[in-house]
């Protein structure tokens, strides 16, 4: 049986050691590097996919590389050099075969700042050293650590970079020049907008419109939007003979290469610059690799190997005088969507750029700089992703995002990221130490103090305030649902308990999750945070928790159902698997004690309705209830000749020695609906069984029991009243059994009627004389 393809989990499938395995030519995208004579055959088999996809990525990369170089204040040749060399080196060595490397918008702000402070040659030297740092990080296998950075910080950083790029490049689109700071650019922008606009503004506006509209045109959408926009702007500028600043490349391409050098600056400034380039490039590359993994079904990225490849690429481009490079999601997604199968596509794209620069330099020099700036404006705006904002708002992480964004825009990249990390750490610390402390007055039942979370010294003030609200002389139930309790919190709670008891009160501490208070009171406090077992899912129906996104991994999933009516694992088998995984370790100690003998105290007779779960509504466990279930929770009279129910009753009373017999009816009972509607036609087993319910119907008509309390009583009074009358009748039927009658007369056995309202999830006690209902709390507190 074929099962639907399941999304892969990032943490489960990313490798951190060894190269990715090769996939066969017809398989999903993969590394594609079998050794020996098979290599040529493998490459040729995938070349029909990789060749066209490499051309698509090449067409995307050229305008982006030129625009990023212009926005960074670097020589335009450096952008093309980085795209070519970075694509080949990282493509050949990378751990994410389908990722494409090149100059990235995320580094534009950093590079522009370094060029302003140190000059271009020193920036190239910093890039080379940053590549060495990346190599070291990859070799030491800490690549995955970059993914531990809060997504809110990463998205805030990229959004801040995008805002800086968009604002600065908008000045170029409008025919002006950007200032050195974002605030200055924002200050001058209104005057730039209302001032005289030359031909640059026309070309830029056309480029922006095409960037936005082109992907929505189904006929031509296969052509990359940046290429279409820049090509159209170039043709327009040439056709109108517009006098515009254009791309300028050296006549001798080799003379355009810059020899890198270290900046003449304090060592601290150099170290900070190197680490900034290495950190931003590494994080962006690894996040891009993870995003690319979601686009295909091939082997997952080896993040450490990818970091080594990115380091080698930056070392190479820095040594040749190029821009720093990263894995770029725009190019990589275009690569996957175009059908790439192996790393050869990324390598070929770098070769096409080299060939294009060598042979068609004159064509590049016709591109208006305002068109490249317009492309960067759109890319910068898209980095400010509203979907990310909404998601972070729902996850209550927006404060981290906003802090990082504002820090990058108003201060600089490093300060903004550090501020974002600081807010993320403070937020995590608050969540880890936040405790819910609630004291509630339950009237005659006393007070209830509920503690949830981690109870540490930071919460002692709130704890003391809640404790002082409780008046003296009452019964207080303390429920610490905590995963940690430090000495300060224990001392505050314990001293209050001792003093409250001396003043005539009663304090009961009931620990469910862990016994932090009890161990500390015995002088053996726990030092480590408790890690409770995973909670079982017995309280939720299969349809609630057996979702596609919560399916077990393929390796751990139970067998599939063999029937043709359903694809995927049977819900029952998934439930059994869940029991063995989560619940069995919790109940195994209790079942071990009961393995030789059961000792229930209750016979619980209820309907076979799937919505009635006896152990759930009674909060009971193994060995508590001896259950009898049938349609309509019926007990045939002793003289009716039904051996099944009679045998269970006699066994429970005489052999097991139960002390209580419970008959539990419920709302919306199908059996009672059938009884109200008349006996089922024919002589079926169901019709024969429901004849045992006729005394309940007679009692209902004769006595006119009061309506059931709760939701829906007004709409369904007859059915609900019959359900209650049926409970009373079955209690009478139980008394027809001699074994029950004797045990009741001897005081060894009690009979209880219950009614479960499904819509309310509430249990009522049924008065055996009047059929009136009372909340179950009346019995629990009597």
Annotated binding site for Zn(2+): 607, 609, 666, 669
User: Pick from 636, 589, 635, 633: which is nearest to 614 by CA?
Assistant: 633
C-alpha dihedral, 600 to 604 to 608 to 610, nearest 10° = -80
Q: Which residue ranges make up the annotated binding site?
A: 607, 609, 666, 669
Return the SS3 of 774.
Answer: strand
- Active-site option among 666, 692, 699, 721: 666
Specify whether the CB–CB gap between 326 and 106 falls below 8 A: yes
Alpha helices in 570-716 (DSSP H): 571-578, 584-594, 614-617, 643-650, 670-676, 685-690, 694-703
Catalytic residue flag (residue 611): yes
Catalytic pick among 609, 624, 637, 699: 609
583 is catalytic: no
| Calculated CA dihedral for residues 437, 443, 446, 450, nearest 10 degrees | -20
CA distance 561 to 538: 21
Between vectors from CA 314 to CA 310 and to CA 319, what angle results, nearest 5°?
Answer: 150
Catalytic residue among 349, 669, 723, 757: 669
Neighbours of 758 (CB within 10 A): 16
DSSP assigned state of 272: H
d(CA 550, CA 534): 14
Crossing angle for the helix pair 151-173 and 386-394, nearest 10 degrees?
150
144, burial (CB in 10 Å: exposed 0-12, middle 13-18, buried 19+): middle
Residues pairing with 440 in the sheet? 448
Q: d(Cα 129, Cα 269) in Å, to the nearest integer?
A: 14
Measured N-to-C along each axis, helices 151-173 and 199-213 cross at an angle, to the nearest 10 degrees, of 140
Give just the sign of the alpha carbon dihedral 107, 109, 114, 119.
Answer: positive
Asked whether 289 and 95 are in contact (CB, 8 A), the reply is yes
Is 669 an annotated catalytic residue?
Answer: yes
Catalytic, out of 465, 611, 701, 742: 611
Beta bridge partners of 437: 451
The continuous run of DSSP H or E covering 415 comes out as: helix 413-433
Torsion of CA 299, 300, 305, 310, to 10 degrees: 110
| CB burial of residue 683 (10 Å; 0-12, 13-18, 19+) | exposed
How many distinct helices (H) and strands (E) make up the chain? 32, 12
Which one of 113, 349, 607, 721 is the catalytic residue? 607
Based on the number of CB atoms within 10 Å of its own CB, is 543 exposed (0-12), middle (13-18) or buried (19 or more)?
A: exposed
**Spatial separation of the C-alpha atoms in residues 440 and 451, rounded to whole Å:** 12
As a whole number of angstroms, the distance between CA 336 and CA 57 comes to 10
End-to-end CA separation in angstroms for the chain:
58
Active site residue 607: yes
Q: Which residues are catalytic?
A: 607, 609, 611, 666, 669
């Amino acid at each position: 049986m074929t099962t639907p393809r399941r999304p892969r989990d990032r943490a489960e499938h990313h490798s951190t050691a060894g190269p990715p395995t090769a996939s066969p030519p017809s398989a999903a995208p993969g590394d594609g590097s079998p050794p020996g004579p098979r290599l040529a055959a493998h490459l040729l088999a995938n070349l029909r996919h990789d060749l066209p996809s490499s051309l698509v990525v090449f067409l995307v990369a050229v305008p982006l590389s030129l625009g990023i170089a212009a926005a960074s204040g670097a020589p335009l040749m450096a952008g093309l050099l980085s795209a070519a060399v970075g694509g080949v080196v990282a493509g050949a060595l990378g751990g994410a075969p389908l990722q494409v490397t090149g100059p990235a918008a995320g580094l534009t702000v950093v590079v522009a700042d370094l060029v302003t402070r140190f000059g271009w040659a020193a920036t190239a030297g910093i890039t080379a050293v940053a590549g060495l740092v990346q190599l070291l990080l990859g070799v030491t296998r800490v690549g995955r650590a970059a993914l531990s950075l809060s997504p809110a910080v990463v998205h805030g950083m990229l959004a801040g970079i995008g805002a800086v790029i968009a604002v600065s490049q908008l000045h170029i689109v409008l025919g002006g020049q950007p200032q050195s700071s974002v605030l200055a650019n924002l200050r001058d922008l209104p005057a730039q907008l209302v001032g005289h606009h030359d031909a640059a503004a026309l070309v830029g506006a056309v480029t922006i419109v095409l960037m936005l509209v082109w992907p929505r045109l189904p006929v031509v959408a296969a052509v990359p939007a940046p290429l279409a926009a820049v090509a159209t702007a170039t043709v327009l500028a040439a056709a109108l003979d517009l006098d515009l600043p254009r791309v300028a490349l050296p006549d001798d391409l080799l003379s355009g290469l810059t020899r890198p050098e270290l900046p003449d600056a304090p060592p601290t400034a150099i170290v900070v610059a190197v680490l900034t380039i290495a950190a931003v490039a590494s994080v962006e590359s690894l996040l891009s690799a993870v995003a690319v993994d979601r686009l295909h079904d091939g082997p997952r990225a080896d993040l450490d190997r990818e970091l080594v490849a990115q380091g080698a690429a930056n070392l190479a481009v820095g040594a040749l005088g190029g821009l720093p490079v990263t894995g770029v999601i725009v190019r990589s997604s275009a690569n996957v969507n175009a059908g790439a199968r192996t790393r050869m596509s990324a390598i070929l794209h770098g070769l096409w750029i080299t060939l294009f620069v060598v042979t068609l330099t004159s064509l590049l020099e016709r591109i208006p700089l305002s068109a490249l700036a317009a492309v960067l404006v759109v890319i910068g705006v898209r980095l400010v992703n509203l979907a990310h904002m909404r998601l972070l708002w729902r996850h209550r992480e927006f404060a981290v995002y906003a802090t990082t964004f504002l820090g990058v825009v108003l201060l600089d990249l490093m300060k903004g990221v550090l501020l974002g990390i600081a807010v993320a750490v403070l937020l995590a610390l608050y969540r880890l130490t936040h405790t819910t402390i609630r004291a509630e007055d339950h009237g005659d039942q006393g007070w209830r103090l509920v503690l949830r979370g981690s109870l540490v010294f930071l919460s002692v003030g709130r704890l003391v305030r809640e404790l002082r609200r409780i008046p003296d002389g009452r019964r207080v139930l303390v429920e610490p649902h905590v995963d940690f309790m430090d000495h300060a919190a224990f001392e505050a709670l314990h001293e209050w308990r001792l003093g409250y008891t001396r003043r005539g009160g009663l304090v009961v501490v009931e620990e469910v999750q862990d016994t932090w208070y009890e161990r500390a009171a015995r002088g053996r406090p726990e030092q480590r945070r408790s890690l409770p077992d995973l909670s079982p899912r017995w309280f939720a129906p299969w349809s609630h928790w057996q979702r596609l996104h919560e399916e077990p991994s393929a390796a751990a999933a139970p067998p599939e159902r063999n029937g043709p009516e359903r694809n995927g694992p049977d819900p029952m088998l998934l439930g059994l698997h869940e029991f063995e995984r989560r619940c069995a370790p919790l109940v195994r100690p209790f079942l071990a004690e009961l393995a030789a003998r059961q000792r229930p105290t209750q016979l619980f007779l209820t309907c076979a309705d799937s919505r009635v779960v006896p152990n759930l509504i009674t909060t009971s466990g193994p060995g508590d209830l001896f259950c009898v279930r049938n349609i309509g929770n019926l007990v045939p009279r002793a003289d009716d000749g039904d051996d099944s129910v009679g045998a269970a009753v006699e066994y429970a009373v005489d052999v097991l020695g139960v002390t209580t017999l419970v008959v539990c009816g419920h709302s919306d009972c199908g059996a009672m609906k059938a009884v109200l509607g008349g006996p089922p036609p024919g002589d079926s087993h169901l019709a024969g069984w429901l004849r045992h319910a006729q005394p309940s119907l007679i009692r209902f008509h004769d006595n006119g029991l009061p309506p059931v309390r709760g939701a829906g009583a007004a709409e369904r009074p007859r059915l609900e009243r019959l359900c209650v009358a049926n409970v009373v009748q079955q209690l009478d039927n139980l008394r027809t059994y001699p074994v029950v009658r004797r045990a009741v007369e001897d005081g060894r056995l009690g009979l209880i009627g219950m009614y479960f309202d499904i819509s309310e999830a509430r249990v009522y006690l049924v008065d055996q004389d009047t059929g009136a209902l009372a909340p179950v709390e009346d019995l629990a507190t009597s």
